[in-house]
Structure 1
Amino acid sequence: MKALKNSWILILLVFLGSCGDAPLYNKSYSFANNSWDQDVKPVFIVNVSDTTASYTAQITIRTTTDYGYNNLWFFVHSKTPGGEVDRLPVEVKIANPDGSWIGETSGTIVENTVYFRNLKFPEKGSYTFTFEQGITEQSAKNVMDISYAVTKNPTK
């Protein structure tokens, strides 16, 4: 009986040890009626305590297969704990010119991810990231949600 108990503990430890590091931050924002309107600006607040580490930020956009364009533009407004602000335009390629999907598809959902690697946060504290839809129309139709994740890179 004791050997069986030790086996389960060993299996559990191997399983837990094989899991990757949990993200420092990982949140999603779902758009009402699958429509990202220009006045809807999802906000993500990331608390950073380690300024010596490098990080990877991951932005994931999920659209439906009814999305009518091959890309989606948006702006990322960032604000540091010290109040410095910046604005970065981001383009997510969603479909190839022939209409085939670029991202992962599952049924009527298309998921595309953009990575920003080896980021450094110069100050400890709360960083605010606000996402603003950047197309010329009032609404980006058939956009389901946006996710923002920040993960500490492994040390070398």
Structure 2
Amino acid sequence: MNNPTDCNLPVKFNILFQWLLLALLLPILFFSSCGKQPVFHEYKLINTGSWSSDSSYVFNVTINDTAVLYDLSIGVRHTGDYPYQNLWLFVKQTTPDHKITHDTIFCTMADYTGKWYGAGNGSIYTLQVPLHKHFHYNKTGTYQYSIVHGMRDDILKGMNGIGLKLEIVNGEE
């Protein structure tokens, strides 16, 4: 004779499996929907460790979606040989329709005691400096960013690289 509860076993297992699957997928969906998704992230090396004031670093970023919010930041890589607590950067943006805008960025590299900001990896430090936060691009196409330093010294020692990072902002930040 069959036990009457045996016929409910596949249904109970199916419901339990669905709840377990839901419990596993919800956190994944939640965490993947928040935060930032990188669209572009590139570094240009300064091979000599010294950045000349007449050397510009150029990044070409292709934008396909104007409906999303973006964060744009500049990455600065340097060693402890960098002689200052700050850094001035001049950023030129050229839009797909050839309109040009200029930004002047002040980067605080170290505190008053000389402790470097940013992440350290051995003797190299990386600092992400916000350029624009939570903004939309007006047009699709390729945007060109050109970065030069604006310090009084023609040659900046201790500089290893300049980068540009563009991220899509997905959730509340």
- Pairwise CA distance, 1:21: 6.1
1:147 aligned partner, one-letter code:
G
Runs of 4+ in structure 1 off by over 3 angstroms are 16-22
C-alpha distance in structure 1 between counterparts of 2:94 and 2:146, whole Å: 9
Q: Give the structure 1 partner of residue 160 of structure 2.
A: 144
Structure 1 position 97 matched with structure 2 position 121? no
| Structure of larger gyration radius | 2
Match of 2:143 among 127, 130, 135: 127
- Pairwise CA distance, 1:152: 1.2
Q: Give the structure 2 partner of residue 45 of structure 1.
A: 60
- Pairwise CA distance, 1:60: 1.1
Deviations 1:58-103 (A, max 9, x none): 2110110111100111111001111110110011111111212222
Structure 1 position 113 matched with structure 2 position 128? yes
2:168 aligned partner, one-letter code:
K
Give percent identity, aligned residues only: 26
C-alpha distance in structure 1 between counterparts of 2:40 and 2:119, whole Å: 22
Q: Which runs of 5+ in 2 are unaligned?
A: 1-20
C-alpha distance in structure 1 between counterparts of 2:153 and 2:37, whole Å: 37
If the length of structure 2 is used for normalisation, what is the TM-score?
0.75
Q: Give the structure 2 partner of residue 7 of structure 1.
A: none
Equivalent residue pairs, number? 144
Say if 1:137 and 1:123 are closer, same or farther in 2 by CA, change over 3 A.
same
1:151 aligned partner, one-letter code:
E
Deviations 1:19-39 (A, max 9, x none): 776521111100121111112
C-alpha distance in structure 2 between counterparts of 1:44 and 1:96, whole Å: 29
C-alpha distance in structure 2 between counterparts of 1:110 and 1:93, whole Å: 13
C-alpha distance in structure 1 between counterparts of 2:45 and 2:135, whole Å: 26
**Maintained 8 Å contact 1:92/1:113:** no
